[in-house]
Amino acid sequence: MRSVRVVAHGRVQGVGYRWFVRDAAESEGVTGWVRNRRDGTVEATLHGDEVAVKSVLEELRRGPLASDVRTLDVEECADESSAEFDIRPTE
């Protein structure tokens, strides 16, 4: 199992990015959460099988059509896995 914290930079708010993250995670069986941050970035945690998390990260680098993901910061984190994937309120 792998657990990562992700911060997406670029045009990632107001373009459906959080729902895109949730859909990508759920399609791979990855749990965690996603939220907008006040600085204009989007933060998420992903918890799941190594291959599934890697696949979700590849999708997050692309983002939805209206987005422009410039960088994706990824760091390993503690496993805070839950039963589902949540969209949380802005930090």
Is residue 40 within 8 Å of residue 90, measured between CB atoms? no
Contacts of 65 (CB under 8 A, 6+ apart): none
35 assigned to active site: no
Pick the catalytic residue from 11, 18, 22, 62. 18
Element (H, E) at 21: helix 17-28
Residue with tokens 């960088």: 71
36 assigned to active site: yes
Pick the catalytic residue from 36, 37, 62, 70. 36
The catalytic site residues sit at 18, 36
